[in-house]
Amino acid sequence: MLNAALRKLFLALSRNGFLRRRLPQLPFMRRAVGRFMPGETAEDALAAALVLQRDGIASEYTRLGENISDMAEADAVAEHYVALYGQIREAGLDGEISVKLTQLGLDIDEAATLDHCLRLAARARETGSGFWIDMEDSSYVDRTLRIYERVLAEHPGTGLCLQAYLHRTAADVERLLPQRPRIRLVKGAYDEPASIALRAKRDVDANFLALAVTIARATPTGVGLGLGTHDIRLVEQVARHAAAAGIARDAFEVQMLFGIRAGEQRRLATEGYRVRTLIAYGDAWYPWYMRRLAERPANVLFALRALLP
């Protein structure tokens, strides 16, 4: 009950424009977010990824920022990622890139956003990397799927995030599977009404398991399924179902965020799971950080500890 109220509160705070401008300037906030981000620059992220790679953990990058208001900003974001693909290759990293479409201009110009995605997916192939599209709140799902299907048709191997809390996701999965997608399944991070999304954790977890098993069965060889969750019990349940269907645990990938359950990430890697850590960087971290606090209100204690000198 308290957790649900706190979740709602932090999700509301994540959308507050005044706080978005002011809070990131406070030193204690900068210290607190450091738990989930190795630093604000791409170089910080790449350096952290090199350390993870020594433990057999691959990486994935996202520069924080969403809902830009001018297409020139989107063009700059795309240029940044084009250059990052080169840096990933030069560093010898098994690293991929994951983007939010609103960061590439989805609120302003869908056709130009598609062009940016096609360019990034082409660059991913050219550099032997991967391109992922994140999923934002439910008002973006149709547009995101439209763009994803166009990109996937030209660039097989492109990945999409789908949210297990949405009632519609089972139908979306069914429609996508014949197109040989690569899907990162997550529980879902936004505040959605009961008409659109499952609200009880138990129901979301059950839907996650059912969807993950369906996707794993449909993509038994290539890495078509990413489990974007820190819920180890759920990962192990999926692995058991997959094993029963003759699917090895390295036929799917476990994806977690930097700084969350780091010890478990290493343990899974040593137990033969493919593990990929999503490393966020950049200075526009406020709404993203508020969503991390919403997921686990106990994180607020860590944030408060950062108030101490």
Stretch that binds ligand FDA, among 40-48, 112-120, 151-159, 227-235 (CB under 6 A): 227-235
Q: Which residue out of 94, 123, 134, 172 is catalytically annotated?
A: 134
Q: Which of 95, 157, 159, 188 binds ligand FDA (CB under 6 A)?
A: 188
Stretch that binds ligand FDA, among 37-45, 80-88, 191-199, 252-260 (CB under 6 A): 252-260
Q: Does 296 participate in binding ligand FDA (rule CB under 6 A)?
A: yes
> Active site includes 184?
yes
In this structure, how many other beta carbons lie within 10 angstroms of the beta carbon of residue 85?
Answer: 24
Q: What angle do CA 100, 105, 108 make, to 5 degrees?
A: 135
Q: Does 253 participate in binding ligand FDA (rule CB under 6 A)?
A: no
Chain positions 91 to 150 lying near ligand FDA, rule: CB under 6 A, are 134-135
Nearest to ligand FDA of 21, 267 (CB atom): 267
d(C-alpha 130, C-alpha 121), whole Å: 7
d(C-alpha 135, C-alpha 162), whole Å: 6
Q: Which residue out of 63, 123, 182, 184 is catalytically annotated?
A: 184
> Active site includes 134?
yes
- Tokens in use for 91? 């560093």
Nearest to ligand FDA of 127, 163 (CB atom): 163
Q: Does 189 participate in binding ligand FDA (rule CB under 6 A)?
A: yes
Cα–Cα distances (Å) from 32 to 9, 42, 85, 123, in that order, read: 18, 19, 29, 34
Q: Which of 57, 84, 147, 186 binds ligand FDA (CB under 6 A)?
A: 186
Q: Does 212 participate in binding ligand FDA (rule CB under 6 A)?
A: no
| Residue type at 306 in one-letter notation | A
Q: Does 59 participate in binding ligand FDA (rule CB under 6 A)?
A: no
Q: Which of 211, 216, 225, 257 binds ligand FDA (CB under 6 A)?
A: 257
Q: Does 260 participate in binding ligand FDA (rule CB under 6 A)?
A: yes
d(C-alpha 8, C-alpha 295), whole Å: 10
Nearest to ligand FDA of 15, 261 (CB atom): 261
Nearest to ligand FDA of 78, 294 (CB atom): 294
Query: Which residues bind to ligand FDA, rule: CB under 6 A?
Result: 134-135, 161, 163, 186-190, 228-231, 255-257, 260-261, 278, 292, 295-296, 299
> Which residues are catalytic, by number?
134, 184
